[in-house]
Amino acid sequence: MGLNFLQSISFILYVVFVDCIFAGIIVASFLWIVTNRYLRSSSLEPDIEWGYAFDVHLNAFFPPLILLHFVQLFFYDWVISQPWFFSRLLGNTFWLCALSYYIYITFLGYNCKYI
């Protein structure tokens, strides 16, 4: 991708703080509100803690992180950066797989709790 050392450090910090932590705070807060307000079967059951919702996000974020920021880099220079239909298909397939992983692991994280 042609990044120098400082750009690489900047990219890593962006992925950690914006993609993982900031987006995680937003997603975990949204799902925490939704599960506690709408998905509990009775008011006698304990609330889902916000820390648990953030932990589910962190567990679900790891496979997309590996797919989009590690595996996809091997294909970027010689396939994905080209103006071909197959390039867009491959790049979008990586994103579809990453999103599917995230949704599925998030589902598993909330499904193991009896809400």
> pLDDT tens across 43-87, in order?
777 789 999 999 999 999 999 999 998 999 888 888 988 999 999
Q: What is the mean pLDDT of residues 31-51?
A: 86
CA atoms within 13 A on the CB side of 96: 6
Q: Which residue has the tokens 């996809």?
A: 72
Rounded to an integer, what is the distance from CA 28 to the centroid of its chain? 11
**Range with lowest mean pLDDT among 23-27, 38-42, 58-62, 98-102:** 38-42
d(CA 108, CA 56): 9
The rounded distance, in Å, linking the Cα atoms of 6 and 15 is 14
CA 78 vs. chain centroid, Å, equals: 25
Cβ contact 79:90 at 8 Å: yes
Would you list the domain boundaries of the chain? Answer: 5-111
